[in-house]
Every structure is written in structure tokens, then in C-alpha cells.
Structure 1
Amino acid sequence: MDTSLGRSYECCRQLHRRHGRTYYLATRLLPAWKRRHVHALYGFTRYADEIVDQTGELSPEMRAARLADWSDRFLAGLGGERVDDPLLPAVLHTIAVFDLDRADFAAFLRSMAMDLTVASYPRYADLLDYMDGSAAAIGTMMLPILGSVDPAAAREPARQLGFAFQLTNFIRDVAEDLDRGRVYLPAEDLAAFGVTHADLVAAAGRRAVTPRIRQLIEYEVTRARAHYRAAAPGVTLLAPASQSCIRTAYVLYGGILDEVIAAGYDVFARRAVVPRRRRAAVVARALLTPTGTPVAVPGSPGEPWRRMSRAGAPNRDRRTTATTP
């Protein structure tokens, strides 16, 4: 690598280390030559996310202009132009090395632009449309870097893992998203459990959950775990050198949901974090697990689904469709 490209990869690594602690820990289990490419993708996606999340510092118009400028520079780089940017050379190099699908990046930037104008989602299908770019596309970006014995079979599990990780973040960060003026829990789910937007705001202000919100969060945890179940077969389809990394990420992100459950589904009292000791144990276990061992799938369908049905929400398609567990 030339010096400027090396600096760009290091800039992405530092961004990943600072802001993506769980995922960064997992990537340390990858071979070094793969690791830098994962950092590059994280740097790209994180920076775009930071632009749209600067709600306190920049107006929507300013954020839209900044995202458009960033996107234009990225597209110019894809077209072969030299870009003067600390992050873009690394991601452009990664795209070239692995011939990554440009459509995934277009889908991602589309979802980032949605965050500038969309504050809530009526149905889960609408949220899935957003997450198709913000989460599933990242799973398919990653797949060529991780490598797979059967890329076609691994594609949908990779998408499902993206959904699972992002839903985990949405569940944990309800209060933080409210501060940005957004709700990523579908309006149909709130209505099914008798929860209003004002109820969420009040609970965040009190830093205490209500019984109805508790039931809502329990349901969303069950939905996220359905995506984890759909993603699980993909871990053993990865290249052997990548399995311990994704196994660790799978367990640690799922562990955030464990912490939410342990807190009685109260996502307002404190931010759910996997304890450091457990994180270290997960890494050690992943290193000792033989390649090809299926991941332990958390949770099971059942009571929350029945409760949702009793609450009057439509239950069809929830457990039968691949993209909407």
C-alpha cells in the first residue's frame, strides 16, 4: 500500500475502534489482511451515519448537503477520480479488491438519506425497506471479505444477521433515537400494545418503563431473535478463518438482548451492555470452538407471539416469511 492508502485504512480502524467496540472486538479474530477491509467498510458506513445523526449541530438541510457531497465524492472515486478524503481511499480500494456490488452501497446511501426525512415507520415492512439498505446490504458487502464455501447459500443468512444486529441496536437505543426525533419501532406494534409516541417520550424522561412498553420491547426482542435464528446457518458456511469472528459478533450482539431481558425489558433505566468479563469469555470460547460447529441459537418462538396475537396485532407472515420472521 502507498502511504496515503495506509493512512486511510488506519483512519477507518481508529473510527471502528472508537465507536464499534463489540464489532471491533470480533474483527480482531480475523486474519490481519481481512481485518483492514472490514475496518474500511465500518469507517464508510459509520461516517455516513454520523452525518445524518448530527441533529443537534446541523439543520436537516445542512446534513442533506453534507451527505450529498460525501456521496458525490464516493461516486467520483468509484469512477476513477482521485479523492481527497481521509476515509474514502480505503473503502474504494476494498471495493476494487473484492469487486463488491455497487448496488449495496447505493442501497446503503439511500437508507441514510431516509434518516433525514423519515421519523417513523407505519409497519414492519416499511422498516424492513429501510433496513434493507442500512443493515442487510452491509451483510452482503461483508460476505466476499469473509469468504464462503457457498456464497449463494450464505447470502440470505448474511442479510438476516444484518437485520438482527440493527434491530438489537434499535431496541437498546430507543431513548437515544427519540432524542434524534426518530422511532424505529413500527407504529403498528406500538398500537397493538396500546403505546403512543408520547408514552415513549415520557418513559425516556422518567428513565423507567411502563408495563405496556415492557410488553412491546419483549415482542421486539422476540422478533430480533427470529432474525438471529434465520442467520445462524450462515456462520458455518463462512470460510474457516472467518467463523470465529462472526460467531463472536453473533453471540455478543445477542448478549445485548440478554441484558435487555435481564433488566426486565427496561431500555430506559440504563443502556444494555455486555459485561467485559462475559465479552472476554465469548472470545475465548469462539477461539476454542472447532470450525463448522453450529452457533447456539438464542430464544425460541412462543409466548410473546401469542401475546401479540391476543393484543389484536396481525400475526400472519411473522414466522413464515424469510425476510420478515
Structure 2
Amino acid sequence: MAAYRYCEAVTALQARNFSYGIRLLPEPKRLAMSALYALARRVDDIGDGELAADRKKEQLLATRALLDEIRAGSVTEEDTDPIKVALADAARRFPIPLDAFDELIDGVEMDLRGEEYQTFEDLKVYCRCVAGSIGRLSLGVYGCEDPKRGAEYADTLGLALQLTNILRDLREDAGNGRTYLPAEDLARFGCEQGFAQSTPPAGADFTGLIAFEAARAQGYFEEGLRLLPMLDRRSRACTAAMAGIYHRLLGRIAAEPESVLRGRVSLPGWEKAYVALSGLAGGRS
């Protein structure tokens, strides 16, 4: 189906980390995951784009309407939106919890409102919207021997990944006027000044802050990865690959905290491929 080919192209071009895991899935699941990613990418691009806030809200509302069409079963292959067509087909083949996309949109709307997070409990709500939702959507494609507990682990793993993202993008987000780390943590470590410079805030315990947040993320990785034995081999490999790449990023950040102030920390392509192959072989990197 041409719609799936479009979604696969979007995934190959833009999913810097997730594409390594998606490639390990058998074709039906790989195509469905590409459709999920393509719509998630669209939602993210709306939030991160250059449109005025009112136009962004309109496009997010249109995306909710798209989801309603899929839920109503009214999408046909003649529709001109390939992402809608592919996702509608995937939703017919797999028990995908489409309501999780509404949560993703909720998270992007939180960004549009410029919400700040005073406590970690506040931040968890955002993380579960923008990342835990993706874990639960993915589980609908993978299948799981214990769907209820599996969804909880998938949500927790998404939280670990999003915390890693927040640490990785600390300087970039600060340049856009955003700080996602909880205000209570910034105050605890003397980092209320923010992260607009390539050096830590004067007098702050920046290393302590990163160590604290990295340890928190590590705990969520350990809990969330309990999902792996509940999945079939290929789905387990996909999840292990995607989580493994972010886990390695977290380790790199923890080892050199100030690196996040100099630019986006990333892994080279060969290392991502190694992690993916390790996941296929049953390892956890």
C-alpha cells in the first residue's frame, strides 16, 4: 500500500533512534509502527513548527478529528492523507489504543501553553502524555501476554526515555525559553538561572543535578524494561533496541554532565546499529 510506503519513508528519514528498532519487526508490525510514528511525528512537528499559536491549535484540533474518523471506521484508501489511510488500516489489524494519540496531543498543547513544572509529579503528567503514550500505542502493535501490566511498564519506559530527552536537550530547550526540569530540583541544586550558557550556572551544583535526574531516569529504565520478557522475540528486540539507544545516551550524559551544555549528545550510527543487533540477539545494552 502506497500509504505505508509514505510512512516508512517518514520513519526512515526522521526517526533517528526509533527506526533502528522498528527495522527488526516482521513486516505487518513494522508497517503499523511506521504509521504510528508518522502521525506522532506530525503532531510533534505541529508543536515545534513556526506557525502562530492559533494555527497550531487548529492543526491539533484537525488531528483529533482525524482520529475520530479512524475510530468511526470511515477512512477509505481513496483518502488523500497517506498517514490517515495507513493508520486506519493498522488500527483494523491491531488493537491500537488510539486514545493515546489524544494524550500525545494533550502534551503538545501543554507546550503551547508554556506550562512549567514545579514538582516531579507535575512533570510526570507531561512525560506520560508525550512519551508514555507512544509506549502504550506500540504495545497495541506488539501484543503482550499481560496487557494491563505491560501497559504500565510501557508507560514507565516512555517516562525513562523522555527524562533522557529532557537532559539531552537541556541547552536547546533553554535557547527556546523552555526548562522542563522541575523547579523544586533546580532550586535544590542552585540552578534556577537556567542553562542558556555553555558552562554551568555560577555557584550551582550542576553535576549534582544531572546525577540526580540521571539516577531517577535509570530507576525508570530498570522498571520499564520488565516489559521485555512479556513480548515476543521480535517485539522484544525492537523495544530493547530503542530503549538501549536511549539508555546509552543516559550513561554518556551521566559520565560527562557538562556535555549537555555544549550541544546535543548523540550516538554514532554504528553504535546504534550495534545496540539494535544486540537487542535482536536477546541482549540489553
Q: TM-score normalized by structure 2?
A: 0.90
What is the CA–CA distance in structure 2 between the aligned matches of 1:111 and 1:154, rounded to whole Å? 22
The alignment covers a number of residue pairs equal to 280
Q: Determine the structure 1 residue equivalent to 2:167.
A: 171
Where in structure 2 are the equivalents of 1:218-297 lying within 5 Å? 218-289=211-282, 295=284
2:179 aligned to which of 159, 179, 183: 183
Aligned-pair CA distance for 1:175: 1.9
Q: Which runs of 4+ in 1 moved over 6 A?
A: none
Letter in 1 for 2:28: W
Q: Determine the structure 1 residue equivalent to 2:82.
A: 86
Letter in 2 for 1:158: A
Q: Is the 8 A contact 2:117 2:181 kept in 1?
A: yes
1:20 aligned to which of 2, 15, 24: 15
Distance 1:37 1:9, change over 3 A: same
What is the CA–CA distance in structure 1 between the aligned matches of 2:94 and 2:280, rounded to whole Å? 26
Unaligned runs of 5+ in 1: 1-5, 297-325
Q: Is the 8 A contact 2:67 2:98 kept in 1?
A: no
Instruction: For residue 200 of structure 1, give the secondary structure of its aligned residue in structure 2.
Output: coil
What is the CA–CA distance in structure 1 between the aligned matches of 2:19 and 2:242, rounded to whole Å? 9
1:162 aligned to which of 151, 155, 158: 158
Aligned-pair CA distance for 1:77: 3.5
Q: Determine the structure 1 residue equivalent to 2:29.
A: 34
Unaligned runs of 5+ in 2: none
1:128 aligned to which of 124, 136, 159: 124
Where in structure 2 are the equivalents of 1:63-74 lying within 5 Å? 63-74=56-67
Aligned-pair CA distance for 1:148: 1.9
Instruction: For residue 118 of structure 2, give the secondary structure of its aligned residue in structure 1.
Output: coil
2:39 aligned to which of 33, 41, 44: 44
Distance 1:189 1:44, change over 3 A: same
Instruction: For residue 267 of structure 1, give the secondary structure of its aligned residue in structure 2.
Output: helix
1:62 aligns with 2:69: no
What is the CA–CA distance in structure 2 between the aligned matches of 1:62 and 1:179, rounded to whole Å? 23
Q: Determine the structure 1 residue equivalent to 2:199.
A: 208
Letter in 2 for 1:75: D
What is the CA–CA distance in structure 2 between the aligned matches of 1:84 and 1:151, rounded to whole Å? 34
RMSD between aligned residues: 1.9
Q: TM-score normalized by structure 1?
A: 0.80
Aligned-pair CA distance for 1:86: 2.9
Aligned-pair CA distance for 1:277: 3.2
Aligned-pair CA distance for 1:84: 3.4
Q: Determine the structure 2 residue equivalent to 1:137.
A: 133
Aligned-pair CA distance for 1:273: 0.9
What is the CA–CA distance in structure 1 between the aligned matches of 2:205 and 2:2, rounded to whole Å? 50
Instruction: For residue 99 of structure 1, give the secondary structure of its aligned residue in structure 2.
Output: coil
